[in-house]
Amino acid sequence: MNEIKIDRENAYRYMGFREPFSENVDEKTAEAVDKIEQELLKAVKPKFIWRVFDIIRDNGLFLSGCDFELSGNDIKKHLSNCDKAAIVCSTLSADCDKFIAKMSVRSALEMLVSDALASAYIEQISDSAVKDLAEKNEGFSATWVFGAGYGDFPLEVLPKLIAAADATRKIGISTTAANTLAPTKSIVGVAGLSREKKVGSEKSCDNCNMREKCEFRKLGKTCT
């Protein structure tokens, strides 16, 4: 079995470090990352599910069997060359939230490191979900997951996506009253499936709902 590794460079970006990381990450932080990565991997229970739908374009963009519209120009562009779409849901489980809370009691550094590692790790789990989606839908290429809240794809659609995928029952994802995800280290969105080799829009700062307060952009970097 291959040993799981969290993307260190992405985690360092979440911590606000500039490249080259070998020069800018101090020894104390690097040691904390080494230690906490192993603790985090033991504590969390990563899971993902996806569900494929036919795309219906009839006075709007809809998924077959669903009673809600995928509204916004950005999601339409993302799925423009796609024949089908999948709701993709990934999470590190509620145990991850408990782990980060425990780290916050130990020290500010350990909380920062654990949160950054978890943010990097959930992106890897979401990528694994897309890879699984593509492998199990032979003849199709899959786009990246366009999350509710990106660009003009409204955050309010989150509960509907979760319900359509049955993600609460299957992997424990739900939303708060403010439409934030619980567990917090979760990703829910829509990936397109197309018979073309290259599909969908490119991941960019322009369609990210965090662009106005993104720490990466302040440093002249991106998370992609």
Has residue 152 been placed in a domain? yes
Has residue 43 been placed in a domain? yes
- DSSP annotation of 78 reads H
Give 45-96 pLDDT, tens digit per residue.
999 999 999 999 999 999 999 999 999 999 999 999 999 999 999 999 999 9
* Number of independent structural domains in the chain: 1
Residue 211 has pLDDT above 90, yes or no: no
Give 178-190 pLDDT, tens digit per residue.
999 999 999 999 9
- DSSP annotation of 140 reads -
Has residue 213 been placed in a domain? yes
CATH of the domain at 54: 3.40.109.40
* Cα(206)–Cα(169) distance, integer angstroms: 33
Question: Which among 173, 170, 176 has a CA at the least distance from the CA of 155?
Answer: 176
State the pLDDT at residue 27.
96
Is there a contact between 140 and 134 (Cβ–Cβ < 8 Å)? yes
Range of the structural domain that residue 47 is part of:
8-218
Give 6-43 pLDDT, tens digit per residue.
999 999 999 999 999 989 999 999 999 999 999 999 99
Residue 198: exposure state from Cβ atoms within 10 A (0-12, 13-18, ≥19): exposed
Has residue 223 been placed in a domain? no
* Cα(211)–Cα(163) distance, integer angstroms: 28
The pTM (predicted TM-score) of the whole model is 0.88
Question: Which among 149, 193, 181, 152 has a CA at the least distance from the CA of 50?
Answer: 193
Has residue 224 been placed in a domain? no
Has residue 60 been placed in a domain? yes
Has residue 166 been placed in a domain? yes
**Residue 3 pLDDT grade (very low, low, confident, very high; cuts 50, 70, 90):** confident
Extended beta strands in 68-211, E state = 84-91, 141-142, 146-147, 174-175, 181-182, 186-194
Give 97-140 pLDDT, tens digit per residue.
999 999 999 999 999 999 999 999 999 999 999 999 999 999 99
